[in-house]
Amino acid sequence: MAASSTSGPSAPTVRKGARGMTPTSATGRAEALSRPAGSVAVGTPKRAEAASRRAESGSARQGFTLVELMVVIAIIGVAAGAVVLSMPDPRPTLAVEAERFAARLTLAREEAVMTNRPVALRADAAGYGFESFDGAVWTPLTGALAPKTWGEGAAVAAPARAVFDPTGGADAASVRLEREGQAVTVAIDGAGEVTIYE
């Protein structure tokens, strides 16, 4: 029997570059036969599981542990506490409060002289104010001599009243300001002069 020719017109031919297909993998995709010998398919279940484990462990290493977060929060708390403790007291000092009060007393004395009317100081625990006497009634003054409250935490030891007369003289009086164990005294003498004693 003569051997069949593969070069004749009726001989079956095979296209160059044609690839046979292997059975489908677990992922449902067919894999080419042209893969190099000894290589492992990326889509195999074992390979996918190992890759997943590596991805999970890698993402876990990129985060922070609870202990690390607690340490950071503790450091922030200590730093914030140090800043708060080093900040100065926003309230004016008692000496500054006394100087403001003394300046207004001096202004009240000048008001009495310029208007030729007596001007009275009234001070109590809530604050202080000035009144002018027009010959019939005492009228509270406004503007720079309007009633004021004491600075936060400051108070007077006892209510006080003093009157500046039109000549510049005054009833001798003293006002003792106190706050948190500190004390400053503002005194008015008979000549109307105002002095601060710490």
**Per-residue pLDDT, 179:** 83
User: What residues contact 150, with CB distance under 8 A and at least 6 apart?
Assistant: 97, 126, 127, 128, 156, 177
* Rounded Cα gap, residues 22 and 32, in angstroms: 7
Domain-terminating residue out of 86, 103, 119:
86
Q: Do both 186 and 114 map to the same domain?
A: yes
Residue 149: phi and psi, rounded to 5, are -100, 155
- How many residues are present in the chain? 198
Same domain? For 51 and 112 the reply is no
Whether residue 7 is contained in a domain is answered as: no
Determine how many CB atoms are found less than 10 A away from the CB of residue 178: 16
In a domain, 101, yes or no: yes
Residue 67 lies in a domain: yes
**pLDDT string in tens for the chain (198-residue length):** 444 455 555 555 555 544 555 555 555 555 544 555 555 455 566 766 766 666 665 555 677 788 888 888 888 878 877 776 565 555 567 788 888 888 999 999 999 999 999 999 998 888 899 999 988 899 998 888 899 888 777 878 788 888 999 998 998 888 888 888 888 889 898 888 888 887
Residues 124 and 55 reside in one and the same domain: no
The identity of residue 170, as a single letter, is A
H or E element in which residue 72 lies: helix 66-86
Which of 86, 114, 136 is the last residue before a domain boundary? 86
Cβ atoms within 10 Å of 122's Cβ, excluding its own: 16
26 inside domain: no
Count of domains forming the chain: 2
Beta partners for residue 21, in sequence order: 32
Residues 98 and 172 in one domain: yes
pTM, whole model, 2 decimals? 0.54
* Same-domain pairing of 121 and 53: no
- What is residue 144's predicted lDDT score, i.e. its pLDDT? 86
The pLDDT value recorded for residue 57 is 59
Structural domain including 108 reads 94-197
81 and 65 in one domain?
yes
